[in-house]
Structure formats: structure tokens, C-alpha cells
Amino acid sequence: MSSAYNNDVQAIWAALSDMQSNLSYMRGELPRLTLPATPGTELVSVLDEFDSLLYDLRSEARNLEDKLGMHPGEAPNDPGIVNPDPRVTLGFLRGWPQDNFLDLHALVQGLEAAHRQDRAAGLAYILVAESATHMLNANQAMVESIERIEARLM
């Protein structure tokens, strides 16, 4: 069924996929790099937290589809949802990543400082900084889609 929300919901899914791709890329490249001890152990934790977040956000994106009526006749993704207002789910999609991005930013700063002390950490810094930038851009695209959906709901 076609919906007025299709393009923006698809953009949300694309943004989530872009973020996951960047996480997967970092995980694949990190074993090949020299990591400083402190930011290196934090990096694994931050990536794990982002993986968990993206799992939750994908679930919420599917719940959003249900709340927008995009799957008529199908069982809902989460039949236990109490509040049918899509604005609630849009708030989760917008708000939940904020702390994770702050943690990622702090990690990038830690890797930058480590790179100043030890040039071997430079590749890790570049990898994480570039991937974090791509993830922020994807998140911004998701927020713009959320805003367009919200504007149609008013």
C-alpha cells in the first residue's frame, strides 16, 4: 500500500542502514590498526552500545510503520504498544541516539589526543572520525525525515 510517508520512512531505514554499515566497517578495520590502550577499550564499548541502539531503532522504525498505517491487515510488530501516537515513536528515533553520539564524539577526541602522543594511533583516529562523520550525516538525514513526517501529522 502506498502511503504519504513512504519516502520519509524509507529514508529513516536508509539512515539506520548507513549507520550500521559504518559500525561494521569500523569493526572490520580495527583489528588491523594500532590502538592506544584507553581509547581502544572505550571504542569497543561505544561500538557495542551503538549496535544495541541501532537494534532498538530498527524496531522503532517498524513500529512507526504500524502507527502510520503502512501495514494494513498485518499483525503489528509490537502488539503490546500502549500509545498509538506516531509522535512518540518519532521522539524515540530522534532522541535516543543523542547520548551515543556524545560518547562517539568523546571517543574521537580521545583518539585525536592519543594521535598527538603516538603517531601510530593516527589511522584509528582517521577511521573513527570519518565513520563518525558519516554516521552523524545519516542521523541528520533521519532527523530531517522525522521532521517532515511530524509536519504532515499536525
CA atoms within 13 A of residue 138's CA, in its CB half-sphere: 23
Report H helices in 3-121. Answer: 6-29, 37-67, 86-95, 97-117
Structural domains in the chain, sorted by start = 6-153 (1.20.120)
149: DSSP letter: H
Average pLDDT estimate for 125-144: 97
- pTM higher than 0.85 for the full model? yes
Q: pLDDT grade, residue 145 (50/70/90)?
A: very high
Q: Binning pLDDT at 50, 70 and 90, where does residue 117 land?
A: confident
Q: What is the dihedral of CA 51, 57, 58, 61, to 10 degrees?
A: -170
Q: In the chain, pLDDT over 90 holds for what percent of residues?
A: 78
The predicted structure's pLDDT at residue 2: 60
Eight-class DSSP state of 122: H
In the chain, what percentage of residues exceed pLDDT 70? 95
